[in-house]
Amino acid sequence: MTGAIVVLIVIVLAVVGWIMARARATRLQAEVGRLATNSRPSQHGWYVALWTALPSLLFLAVWANVMPGLVTGTVLGTPAAQALPADDFSRGAILAEARAIASGAQQGAFNPQSNTLVEPFRAATNRYSAIGAVLAAILSFAGGAYAFSRVKPAFTARSRVERVVMWALLLASLIAIVTTAGIVASLIFESWRFFSMVNPLDFLFGLKWSPQSAALGYGNKDAFGAIPLFWGTIFIGAIIAMAVAIPLGLMSAVYLTQYASPRLRKWMKPILEVLAGVPTVVYGYFAALTVAPALRNFAAGVGIPGASSESALAAGLVMGVMIVPFVSSMADDSIAAVPQSMRDGSLAMGATTSETIRRVLIPAALPGVVGGVLLAVSRAIGETMIVVMAAGLAANLTLNPFASVTTVTTQMVQLLTGDQEFDSAKTLAAFALGLVLFVVTLLLNIVALRVVKKYREAYE
């Protein structure tokens, strides 16, 4: 809480600095004339405000990281800490408890020894917070005063402020790289730990997936074979969902671009796009509540063996409908990119519209459509909620769409939402699955974009 107040004070100081510097620069400008000044008064204001706020905020950020160490050091130096046990583990536990009580995060101690340390903790924390606040205020004043003393007509405040702005812009765009690096690093690091427990070949090519048995101590050898998961993912995301999404998406794109009246197009296009905007958890609930029971009853009625209330078909069908607008808009784009002359040529030869579409437009647009389908597949296999809610947990290697299969994403959720300690092979397996998913979707995207790009160039 005190930290927030200090930050607020620094910001108020910066605003005051801005106003004062601007006023002074305005006065100076009036004295020497506008043409003799280098920068606008508000730029002088920004210069002072930046000098007031930035160094002191940077200091506070550093201080917030250093302070816990200093506090603990001081507490360990007090007489009350002499009685602490020598081994690091219980010592750390007592210290952590005392810290939590002192900060108000916890009431009452399990270990009576913690209570003796609460007061030293409080005192040390107060002291170091006060030191930090004072130092931040001094930095603020010093920076502001230094900058204020430089407010002169000839001073190049503008270029200096703009340099800071450029740095801020660059930093903001570097966050994307940092995030990507963070994803790759955390996936690789945790997967590395997993693969030090489980042979990568067993993981990638094993046919048996039962992490529960590994957790129960039956060994890791036969527990983490991910082939059933990969198959389930492909079966639902790349086969069933695409069997729904490609015909529906392609045909609706064809109809909307070639046949529909502008009025119908104006209404139907947004309606189709609503399908893409419905949250996946809603689709998942719909699949589990309505579609899956209906399919099971149908399968039981027809007499298909192995029908389950959590079927691959239910998840795949609903996922396919979700992907329709995506496929449709990609197909729309690639059909629109086919040169009008090709269409006109075909129609002039006497072909009907449907013949033109089937024999000329779609073949010409095919690379773009294929690229779009690849992107759709990459989206479908990364989709989580529908399969978590509708596809089930049994890792079956089956071709029966009415049976239950499981997918990579379902298992990731399953592995990480248990009460396992983080270091077990079971939780780390989720990261290995994540790494596979990340690599596959990345490759699909790269290939798809390359196909689409190449095809666009062919017509330009």
Partner 1 sequence: MASRAPTDWTSDAMRRRIARRYSAERRFKALGLLAILLSAGFLAFLLVSMAANGLRGFTRTEIALPIDFQRAALFVDPQALAMGNPDQVLASANLPAAIDKAAEEVFGKGGAHLLSAGAMKAVRDAIVADPAILAKKVTIAVPAAEGIDVAAKGKGSDADEARVARLERAGALSTGFNWPFLTSSDGTDPTVVGIWGALKGSLLTMGITLLLSFPVGVLAALYLEEYAPRNRWTDLIEVSINNLAAVPSIIFGLLGLAIFLNLMHLPRSAPIVGGLTLALMTMPVIVIAGRNAIKAVPPSIRDAALGIGASPVQVVFHHVLPLALPGILTGTIIGMARALGETAPLLMIGMRAFVASPPGGITDPATVLPVQIFLWSDEVGKGFIEKTSAAIIILLLFLLTMNSIAIYLRNKFERKW
Handedness of CA 111, 113, 119, 123 (dihedral sign): negative
**Side chain identity, residue 224:** F
Chain center to CA of 81: 44
Distance of CA 134 to the CA centre of its chain: 38
Considering only residues 390 through 449, tell me which ones interact with partner 1, judged by CB under 8 A: 409, 412-413, 416-417, 422, 430-431, 434, 437-438, 441-442, 445, 449
Please, which residue, 146 or 192, has the CB nearer to partner 1? 192
- Residue whose C-alpha is closest to residue 280's, from 391, 204, 172: 391
Of 67, 382, 398, 424, the residue at the interface with partner 1 (CB under 8 A) is 382
How far is Cα 341 from Cα 347, in angstroms, rounded to an integer? 10
* CB of residue 198 to partner 1, shortest distance in Å: 18
Assess 212 for contact with partner 1 (CB under 8 A): no
* SS percent in the chain: helix, strand, coil, step 5: 80, 0, 20
Decide: is 242 part of the binding site for partner 1 (CB under 8 A).
no
82 binds partner 1 (CB under 8 A): no
Cβ proximity to partner 1, 59 vs 285, nearer residue: 285
Contacts with partner 1: how many residues (CB under 8 A)? 85
Separation between Cα atoms, residue 122 and residue 267, nearest integer Å? 65
Looking only at residues 268 through 307 of this chain, which bind partner 1 when binding is defined by CB under 8 A?
A: 268, 271-272, 274-275, 277-286, 288-290
Helix ranges, 337-424 (H): 340-348, 353-356, 362-382, 385-390, 408-416
Of 115 and 258, nearer to partner 1 (C-beta) is: 258
Q: How far is the CB of 62 from partner 1 (least distance, A)?
A: 16
Q: Up-side HSE of residue 199: CA atoms within 13 Å toward CB?
A: 8
Please list every residue from 318 through 357 that binds partner 1, using CB under 8 A. Answer: 321, 324-325, 352-355, 357
CB of 314 to partner 1, least distance (A): 13
Nearest approach in angstroms of CB 273 to partner 1 is: 9
| String of contacts with partner 1 for each residue 91-120, x by CB under 8 A | ------------------------------
SS3 category, 446: helix
Q: Which of 13, 98, 136, 187 binds partner 1 (CB under 8 A)?
A: 187
Residue carrying structure tokens 């030191």 = 131
Q: Identify any residues that bridge with 436 across adjacent strands, giving them in sequence order.
A: none
Query: Of 195 and 255, which CB lies nearer to partner 1 in the complex structure?
Result: 255
Minimum distance from residue 98 beta carbon to partner 1 (Å): 18
Residue type, 157: A
Of 231 and 286, the one with the shorter C-beta distance to partner 1 is: 286
- Of residues 244 through 273, those in contact with partner 1 by CB under 8 A are 247-252, 254-256, 258-259, 268, 271-272
Output 28 or 385, the one with its CB closest to partner 1: 385
Report whether 435 contacts 188 (CB < 8 A): yes
Q: Which of residues 147-176 bind partner 1 (CB under 8 A)?
A: 158-159, 162, 165-166, 168-170, 172-176
Per CB under 8 A, 186 contacts partner 1: yes
Does 375 contact partner 1 by CB under 8 A? yes
**3-class SS letters over 438-456:** HHHHHHHHHHHHHHHHHHH
For the CB of residue 171, give the shortest distance to partner 1 in the complex, in Å: 8
Give least dist CB 229 to partner 1, A.
14
Q: Does 389 bind partner 1 (CB under 8 A)?
A: yes
| Cβ neighbours, 10 Å, residue 140 | 26
The phi and psi torsions of 224 (rounded to 5 degrees) equal -120, 40
Q: What is the DSSP string of 295-316?
A: HHHHHHHHT-TT--SS-HHHHH
89 binds partner 1 (CB under 8 A): no
